[in-house]
Homo-oligomer: A and B are copies of this chain.
């Protein structure tokens, strides 16, 4: 059983995936659009805005703990970009006539718990957490945004597609691994541990049917993006 299947609690062998009329023909590879699982606008915006707030908080901790002024400066640039995304999502919340704290609140306990388990034991693990979790969750919410009503679908995708902190984090972490090669093994293990927790956050954002075979392609796609990002650090996913 794959660990993605375990994530979804499937303990029996896969039954043939149900055919969704109009979505796929018998014999084709199971295929799912993120948009099939998009929750309503308020929940989507509240969840994604609170996730971005958590991404910002991780980067803020990284700024606070940065060992040099140069790292502090680079990370504050990264934090500013993450915070811009969060603020733009909050602007959409306000424009859609929701109250920001009210739509974010339902997601706070789970995301706060996620943050607590993914902060890491030192600055390097914290940086890798920001890199891995923000990378996956940005991809995830961009995909999920496709199911939002216009104009929100396009606007959210545009906000989240702006490169966030990843280039700054990649440069600092890759530089650290180059100087201290023994970091690589530890950080690769840590990154692997983060993926499961991060996909659980993504899973919790899915609305409606969460049949494993239907959802799996979504997660396979997220993991492919994650592997590319880890490659860029010189680590194996």
A contacts, CB < 8 Å to B: 50, 53, 56-57, 60-61, 63-64, 68-70, 72-73, 76-77, 79-80, 83-84, 86-87, 90, 100-101, 104-105, 108
Contact = CB atoms under 8 A, between A and B. Distances in A.
Contact of A69 (B69, B83, B87, B104): B104
Contact of A76 (B53, B69, B70, B72): B53
Instruction: Give the interface centre of A76, A77, A104, A105 by most chain B CB atoms within 10 Å.
Output: A76
A48 to B, nearest CB: 14
Given A60-B63, A61-B64, A80 B72 contact: no
Secondary structure dominating the interface of A: helix
Contacts of A86: 76, 80
Given A60-B63, A63-B57, A63-B60, A76 B68 contact: no
A115 to B, nearest CB: 10
**Copies per assembly:** 2
A83 B79 contact: yes
15 contacts: A53-B63, A53-B72, A56-B63, A56-B76, A57-B64, A60-B60, A60-B64, A60-B79, A61-B64, A69-B105, A70-B100, A76-B83, A80-B86, A80-B87, A83-B83
Nearest to A108: B69
A23 B90 CA distance: 51
A40 B54 CA distance: 39
A67 to B, nearest CB: 11
A76 B60 CA distance: 11
A87 B76 contact: yes
A128 to B, nearest CB: 19
A105 B67 CA distance: 12
A112 to B, nearest CB: 10
A80 B83 contact: yes
A19 to B, nearest CB: 42
Contacts of A90: 73, 77
Contacts of A63: 53, 56-57, 60
A80 B52 CA distance: 13
Contacts of A68: 101
